[in-house]
Amino acid sequence: MKKIVVTGAGGFIGGHLVKVLEKEGHKVRAVDIKPLNEWYQISNGADNLVLDLRLRDNCVRAVNGNNEVFNLAADMGGMGFIEKNKAVCMLSVLINTHLLVASRDCGIERFFYASSACVYNAEKQTDPANPGLKESDAYPALAEDGYGWEKLFSERMCRHFSEDFGLITRVARFHNVYGPYGTYDGGREKAPAAVCRKVIEAGITGNKEIVIWGDGRQTRSFTYIDDCIKGIRDIMDSNIEEPLNLGSSEIVSINGLVDIVEDIAGYKLKRIYDLNAPKGVRGRNSDNNLIKKYLGWEPSISLRKGMKKTYEWISRQLIEENKNRKGISRFNK
């Protein structure tokens, strides 16, 4: 049994990670800035703390007396959020910086940092037929403005804390993680959840249209949450010092993603393309050669299977929301 801190525990990935660590028998301290009633999942067996980790004293309070830290805390969301909140995203650098200092001073044994595919050079993501981004493609640096630069800088901080202070750090570059118990509306949702919500709402309202950001030909790869959590655990426990991709190499266009969700729903929608909406790079995919070589990790859940699980969960949430509104439909307001 270890004493483990998970920051960003009130969020999507953090909430799932806390559940797994508790199931493994570890003593978990779960930390997030959001009030407890806004956490996506709450583990009653964890030491749940509401703290603003942009403040150094709170970072000391969070990590003191523990063995390991998983830092998943960041102010972020989907493309609609990060393109319009660059300064806000960059302020997350305070969280990782203060957590690293606190971890060094409090004798933390291992430190995991959740980075992102947004660190990759934008010039290598102009073709929808992206062959897969290798870890070396982060340099020469031309990261996603705001969020991507913060992640790349924080990766370097981890590296230098290892070199200068001996703190063992591990870094994973997440590629579009999705699944149940995540946000699906409000502006921070990512493409898989947003597409599911839009298709479900079209079925409820009878308005058989869907708005797609961009021309729909931009491509991504998406990683189901269960595969992500296993990858996090494998990377944290490994001896690999360099950042590793943690993603799927199953590339799909946004149009193709809509096709999958329509097939799950059992109906087709008229597509309306908003060419002025945030759309990010043209093509992004994960090259998994290094993580396969070092750890033997690769995704076990296909995009279609993962999207079906996600669709079913979001559908239940929307139906329940409608019931709780005492007959006043959110879709007809």
What residues pair up with 32 in beta bridges, in sequence order?
Answer: 50
* Inter-residue contact 83 to 278 (CB < 8 Å): yes
Q: Rounded distance, CA 6 to CA 67, Å? A: 11
Q: Rounded distance, CA 307 to CA 188, Å? A: 18
Task: Report H helices in the chain.
Answer: 12-23, 56-63, 79-82, 86-90, 93-105, 147-165, 191-205, 225-236, 254-265, 289-295, 303-324
Phi first, then psi: what are they for 255, rounded to 5°?
Answer: -60, -40
Q: Rounded distance, CA 104 to CA 165, Å? A: 7
Residue 44: how many other CB atoms lie within 10 Å:
6
| Catalytic residue of the set 40, 113, 120, 147 | 147
147 is catalytic: yes
Which residues are catalytically annotated? 147
